[in-house]
Structure 1
Amino acid sequence: MTEKRHSPVILIVSDSMINIEQLRSALISRGYLSVWMDITQTTVLKTTREKFDLIVLDVELSATNSIEISRKIQDEIQLPGVPLIFITPVEDEGRLLQMFRPGEFDYVQKPFKLEELIIRIELHLAIKRAQDQLRASKDIAEKAANAKSLFLANMSHEIRTPLNGIVGMVDIMKQTKLDKDQREYLNIIEISGETLLMIINDILDFSKIEAGQISLEKIAFNIREEIGNVKKLLAYKIQQSKLEFIVSIGDSVPKTIVGDPLRLRQILINLLNNAIKFTERGYVKLDVSLDKIIGENYKLKFEVEDSGIGIAPQNRVKLFQSFTQADSSTTRKYGGTGLGLAISKSLVHMMNGEINVDSELGKGSRFWFTAVFELTTMDVEGGDTSEIVGAFEEPLKILLAEDNEISAKVSMISVKKLGHNVVLAQNGIEALEMYRKEHFDLILMDVQMPEMDGIEATQEIRKIESETGNNHPIPIVAMTANKYSEDAKLYLESGMTDHLGKPFKPVELEMVLKRNLNLNRV
């Protein structure tokens, strides 16, 4: 069905009846509707409900204050998005150029030719129609993007919440007494759960990148500590693969840099996961070096080398494309979405770097990328996070705000396994009441909860601290199923101090406790 379009309505403002009748007749013959009023009536235009597509203003602008007069008339009768054409005897082109802006205001000099005025009217109406269509298309696109973003956020939460129970309980069960068969079954569940989680991560991240919804953080971090965290997160896979894992960080690499450690970690884990997956024997090596200093910035180079299956020359061009792998046999044997390298490429470009690969079939591969980080004089202490419990003289008291029964059970057991005490609140209101009544060292705050969500509860807690003059605000860690969510910035702005994605590994919980509780503990 074609869209029904109204006849353009043109307002003619003039004190000359001869000009008005001549112009109205020409407009009507071309299917336009016209409305007339004189100069004295224009003040009502700001309050009228009449909608005009274009205004023709017949006015004398030959006086020395012509610019001021034109501005006054424009302010009185110009409506947003409506073109305005002056009919004026002004002959000074320089003054006219000061008065009119192309696309918004135009003019025809007296004595005017009707044909010229009609052409200008039709040109501006065509431009206005195109602009209206663009605005409508933009509105539709923005609504679609917002709907997609909301859908992805909901799907992320709905999918990750049960996965949190699977991955979390597997970690917990592996710390109990198991026979050989039971441990093998659990390993299968763990590998399957992690594979599913990686696929979900890839799809959600790729969708966010396509929608332009990913932005990089700028925070100071210890590069060696971050590499240590990557190594720790991959420790189990490395152990299972029986590969030699080598990490080398050049002496010229600065201790502390400013950038996005989460996204850097994501790229490194992606490349290292691939290296481990496609290497049956031998080694996987990560090398970090200083490429160059650019003004006030460091350009670092990261190289991931393996002794794996390698890549044929004709297949290398496919590697960084979306939904593709080297060849179909690779997909069948090793699985994967084919999105990991495409996501890594996008993130590297956001870091003002480049990414590529050197490889020979059957002789391994070397993936490398560069990234630019800012200099900083801030010193961020790094260190071993393997023994977090030993960092505290006594067990800590932690408040967990979580409405999902399974997620709550996983989190509570994980905290207790670290040797700490935990109290459960099933929504934000309960968390607020417990905070008022008892002392806690840290709050693990789920973001999405009924009655009062985590952000509201955090804001209320910060308000109480401000009113009571509390100079040691309690650390509040946002727990969300959006593991790589750009909403993390919103959580921090609301008063939260950190972010823990679900599902989480025990080592990730350890790192969060170390970052927050060690700093707060006296």
Structure 2
Amino acid sequence: MSNYLLLTCKSFYEDVVYSGLGGEPSISNRKQTIRFNQFILLILVANFVCVISYFSYGLYISALINLSAAYIFIMAYQLNLRRHYLFARLLSVLNLNVYLAVMNYMEGLNAAEYFYYWPYFLVITFIVSFKRNLLELTFAYSVTLLSLWFCYTQCPPENHYQVHIANMFTKLHDSNLVISLALTAFFSYAILRINRNNEAAILKEKQFVDTIYNTSLDGVFILDAEALIITDCNSRAVELLEIGNKKDIVGAPMDSLFTKEHIKIFRGMEQHPGEAGKGWQGELSFTSQKDNTVFAYVNVVPFVDDTHHFWKISILDLSEIKMTKFELMKAKQKAEVASLAKTRFLSNMSHELRTPLNGIIGTSNLLLQEDYLPEQKSHLDVLRLSSEHMMVLINEILDFNKIESGKVELENVPVNIRSLLKKVEAQFSMQVQEKGLTFLIDVDDKLEAEFLTDETRLIQVLSNLLSNAIKFTQEGFITLGARKVSSSSKRSVVQFMVKDTGIGIPANKQQEIFESFTQADTDTTRKYGGTGLGLAITKKLVSLFAGELLLDSREGLGSTFYFSAELEINENAKQYINDEKVKKLPSFGKIRVLMAEDNAVNMSVARKLMNKWGIEVHEAVNGREAVEKFRKGVYELVLIDLEMPEMDGVTALSEIRKVDQDIPAIAFTAAVYEDMRADLMKKGFMEVVPKPFRPEELHRKISMLLKSTA
């Protein structure tokens, strides 16, 4: 039972004392708030004791005054909870002084209510900080002195308004003396305990600072800027400069450790009397006590302590970094020399090898064109093919060296993907036929646009992949493909693919084959030959297109190499509209079509085509203008681009549908994404014409929509 009461009292005490601390950022404010709450709690307990004693003596007016004062103290406590700290303290000081003045007047000086001024003076220093709240403390003392003056000048020795019992003043005098002494002793003990805790906190803080100071990675020196002596240093400084003992350096002249150049730099810092000067940072070298050189990054901070100037020197050891940097520079120089030697060697060797090889290849071709014995044909073919193979190997090594040195830059010229693939097909069709393989070309119908890219390097990538596919495939087929993955009005992502039904690549070798001078296994090298550079070169070339060469292969079933490249659409490409199919397309008669397109070239081409078909085209350069024109005019069909400024095509169509729900609408777009057609149908479009468009396809879809709404 006693433990329960003790825990209840402790819980009540903590609830009262630690209230009003939520979100208080300052530690000093938190402490001051706690002290104020302790003061209020103690005052209320003292008031409670006094009220009981007054009721027992029949001093009802005194009891009423105590209750009124307690009520005002509770108001101050509530102000403190609401963070009106200053008002709470001022109200408490004023209330306490008024209470003492009134009590001294009602009971008389012989009752000795003025004894409570003893603990009160201690209370003021307890809850009011002298350094931070001087004005507040001045107010408190002024009110207290005024209250004391009132008591000693205006209060009678004895007042019999409520005192009618003999010796009552003596009893009041003794009880007030005991209570005031108890309060004074309590507050004295509290102040002594706070001071002791503050001293412990200061010592702990100093110990913490010393720990940080001595465990810093920087060597730190404190120098007297006026006497030019070393006043202090940390453990890292002793270790860094190989000083035997800290006592050997503290108090020593500055030039015993720092050179004249160092001191000149320190003195060159700008300083002003009474304030810290401008610091300095930079790299310096020091000589340790054992004559070892220490390279360091130094930070010098001037500061003033009690009008005396000091320098704080922080030294971060850079010796290992300097040595590593020096070794790296030496290694770099060696690598550059080796690279230059390799480049010169390859250049010279290529010239020396190509010259006789050109002679051998040329002579072989001449011999094959002249009369020769039938049994010599196989020998001449071996001579020609071997020399051509040697030329391929030399070219691969030179290409690899050029790419490795970063000297390959992509061109940016107009390229038609269909035409490019036809060139590659023509280059390899004879080789494929000679091996009895089927050569398939799979080109996406949407790849009609002209792109800006490097045709030569793109052909080189596809040629390398096809050469490998032909080399490692004995039967079946080889496929060269390209398809549009996604597209916007400016750029398209195109995926290229070379597929074969050859020997395939084991799963554990599929990463190694992209490394330089590496093939799947030694049997492959012996059987098929090669340097192992083809795929390494191809992978690096693909990376220049911001793509990644990927592989899907199963041993014995063939391989598929593929990569994607984001290509810029050539907006200035001429649209081919003079095809025979276009000339034979019939006219629609006089119909009105609203076309929304922000690209002037696309608008011009489409308008000319539709004019030839008898269509009256009304132009809008953005979605908002299209909606406004549709509201004012009458149209049989709308042709809307999806990507336009101010208002996109989907939003524009939704506004047009509010005017006419049945108007035929065609999406005119260069964008490509998964389930695009189904998505656009849900959004109100009836057909989709991808850009660049085929005139016959546009004509067919317009004709189909007009017939369905007739």
Task: Normalising by structure 2, report the TM-score.
Answer: 0.39
CA distance in 2, matches of 1:205, 1:173: 31
Cα shift at 1:84:
6.3
Pairing 1:336-415 to 2, within 5 Å after superposition: 336-379=530-573
How far residue 266 of structure 1 moved from its aligned partner, in angstroms, is 1.6
* Structure 1 partner of 2:440: 246
**CA displacement, residues 99-121 of structure 1 (integer Å, 9 cap, x when unaligned):** xxxx987323246888x63x61x
Q: Provide the C-alpha distance between the structure 2 equivalents of 1:165 and 1:311, rounded to a whole number of angstroms.
A: 38
What are the Cα deviations for residues 48-79 of structure 1, in whole angstroms up to 9, with x where unaligned? Answer: xxxxxxx6554234499x99x99xxx9xxx9x
Aligned with 1:189 (options 378, 383, 397): 383
Question: 1:191 Cα shift?
Answer: 1.8
Measure the CA separation in 1 of the matches of 2:372 and 2:538.
38
Q: How much does 1:209 deviate?
A: 3.6
Q: Distance in 2 between matches of 1:127 and 1:310?
A: 49
Match of 1:149 in 2: 343
Q: Who is 1:25 aligned against?
A: 256
Cα displacement (A) at 1:324: 2.5
Structure 2 Cα separation of the partners of residues 378 and 238 of structure 1? 37
1:318 equivalenced with 2:508 (yes/no): no
2:283 match: 83
Give, in whole Å, the separation in 1 of the partners of 2:445 and 2:228: 87
Return the offset for 1:345: 1.7
1:258 aligns with 2:489: no
Residues 1:109 and 2:302 are matched in the alignment = yes
Contact 2:442/2:482 (CA < 8 Å) preserved in 1?
yes
In structure 2, distance between residues paired with 1:253 and 1:156: 39
Taking the TM superposition and a 5 Å limit, the aligned residue runs for 1:180-219 are 180-219=374-413
Contact 1:220 1:378 in 2 (8 A): no
| Residues 2-151 of structure 1: pairs in structure 2 closer than 5 A | 18=228, 22-27=253-258, 34-36=259-261, 58-62=268-272, 83=283, 106-110=299-303, 117=313, 120=315, 123=317, 127-151=321-345
Provide, for residues 446-478 of structure 1, a one-character-per-residue CA deviation record: whole Å limited to 9, x for no partner. Answer: xxxxxxxxxxxxxxxxxxxxxxxxxxxxxxxxx
Residue 364 of structure 1 and its aligned partner are, at CA, apart by: 2.7
Distance 2:262 2:561 in 1: 72
Contact 2:449 2:570 in 1 (8 A): no
Q: Structure 2: which amino acid aligns with 1:22?
A: P
Find the aligned partners of 1:227 and 1:168 in 2 and give their Cα distance.
29
Query: Does the 8 A contact of 1:256 with 1:378 survive in 2?
Result: no
- Cα distance in structure 2, aligned partners of 1:329 and 1:320: 18
Q: Secondary structure at the match of 1:253?
A: coil
Report the counterpart of residue 159 of structure 1 in structure 2: 353
**Counterpart residue number, 2:106:** none
Q: Which residue of 1 aligns with 2:487?
A: 293
Q: Give the Cα separation in 1 of the matches to 2:479 and 2:404.
A: 31
Q: 1:130 to 1:233 in 2, by over 3 A?
A: same
Residues 277 and 36 of structure 1, relative CA distance in 2, 3 Å threshold:
closer
Instruction: Report the CA distance shift for 1:236/1:194 in structure 2 as closer, same or farther (over 3 A).
Output: farther
User: What code does the residue aligned with 1:60 have?
Assistant: E
Measured after TM superposition, the shift of residue 272 of structure 1 is 0.8
Q: Residue deviations 1:366-397, cap 9 Å, x none?
A: 22222222221344999xxxxxxxxxxxxxxx
Is the 2:429–2:439 Cα contact (8 Å) retained in structure 1?
Answer: no
Find out whether 1:278 has 2:472 as its counterpart: yes
- The match for 1:229 is 423
Letter in 2 for 1:326: A
* Corresponding residue number in structure 2 for 1:52: none
Structure with the bigger percentage of helix: 2
Query: Which amino acid letter does the alignment assign opposite residue 371 of structure 1?
Result: A
Q: 1:209 to 1:161 in 2, by over 3 A?
A: same
Paired residue total? 318
Counterparts of 2:332 and 2:508, CA distance in 1: 40
Q: Shift of the alpha carbon at 1:273?
A: 0.9
| Secondary structure of residue in 2 paired with 1:302 | strand
* Matched letter for residue 283 of structure 2: P
Inter-CA distance 128–324: structure 2 relative to 1 (3 Å threshold) = closer
Residue 59 of structure 1 aligns with an amino acid whose one-letter code is: M
Query: 1:353 Cα deviation (Å)?
Result: 1.7
Instruction: Say if 2:462 is the partner of 1:268.
Output: yes
Question: Cα distance 1:129–1:366, how it changes in 2: closer, same or farther (>3 A)?
Answer: closer
**Is residue 266–residue 300 contact of structure 2 (8 Å, CA) maintained in 1?**
no
AA partner of residue 304 (structure 1) = V
Distance of aligned partners of 1:221 and 1:174 in 2 relative to their CA distance in 1, 3 Å threshold: farther
Aligned equivalents of 1:23 and 1:148: distance in 2?
Answer: 55
Q: 1:323 to 1:130 in 2, by over 3 A?
A: closer
Structure 1 CA distance for aligned equivalents of residues 554 and 408 of structure 2: 34
Quote the Cα distance in structure 1 between the aligned partners of 2:493 and 2:571. 17
Unmatched segments (≥5 aa) in structure 2: 1-224, 231-251, 286-295, 577-710
Separation in 2 of the partners of 1:211 and 1:365? Answer: 30
Map of 1:487 onto structure 2:
none
Query: Following TM superposition, by how much is the alpha carbon of 1:286 offset from its aligned partner in structure 2, in angstroms?
Result: 0.9
Mapped to 2, the partners of 1:326 and 1:26 lie a distance apart of 65
Partner residue of 2:656?
Answer: none
1:177–1:227: structure 2 CA closer, same or farther, 3 Å change rule?
farther
Rounded to whole Å, the distance in 2 between the matches of 1:62 and 1:194 is: 82
Give distance in 1, aligned partners of 2:550 and 2:566.
16
How far apart are 1:189 and its partner, in Å?
1.8
CA displacement at 1:175 relative to structure 2: 4.5
Cα gap change, 1:134 to 1:318, in 2 (>3 Å)? closer
Q: Is the 8 A contact 1:218 1:258 kept in 2?
A: yes
Identify if the C-alpha distance between structure 1 residues 317 and 370 changes in structure 2 by more than 3 Å, giving closer, same or farther: same
The alignment-based identity, stated in percent, is 36
Give distance in 2, aligned partners of 1:314 and 1:127. 41
Identify the range of structure 1 (264-273 vs 200-209) with the bigger mean alpha-carbon deviation: 200-209
- C-alpha separation in 2, matches of 1:126 and 1:196: 50
Return the alpha-carbon distance in structure 1 between the equivalents of residues 503 and 467 of structure 2.
14
Q: SS of the counterpart of 2:257?
A: helix
What is the CA distance between 1:334 and its match in structure 2? 1.0
Q: Which runs of 5 or more residues in structure 1 are unaligned?
A: 1-14, 28-33, 40-54, 86-102, 383-522
Specify the code of the residue in structure 1 equivalent to 2:299: D
Bigger Rg, which one: 2
Residue number in structure 1 paired with 2:500: 306
1:224–1:255 CA contact under 8 A, matched in 2 = no
- Which amino acid in the other structure matches residue 361 of structure 1? E
For 2:538, give the aligned amino acid: S
Distance 1:309 1:140, change over 3 A: closer
Q: 1:36 to 1:327 in 2, by over 3 A?
A: closer
How many Å separate the matches in 2 of 1:227 and 1:285?
11
Corresponding position of 2:196 = none
Quick one: distance in 2 between partners of 1:329 and 1:185? 26
Show the counterpart of 1:520.
Answer: none
Identify if the C-alpha distance between structure 1 residues 228 and 172 changes in structure 2 by more than 3 Å, giving closer, same or farther. farther
- Whether the 8 Å CA contact 1:256–1:380 is kept in 2: the answer is no
Is the alpha carbon distance of 1:123 and 1:324 closer, same or farther for their aligned partners in structure 2, counting shifts above 3 Å?
Answer: same
- Counterpart of 1:83, as a letter, is E
1: distance between equivalents of 2:395 and 2:574? 29
Contact 1:83 1:105 in 2 (8 A): yes
Correspondent of 2:523 among 320, 329, 341 = 329
Give the aligned CA root-mean-square deviation in angstroms. Answer: 4.0
Q: How does 1:424-439 map to 2 (within 5 A)?
A: none
Mapped to 2, the partners of 1:125 and 1:376 lie a distance apart of 56
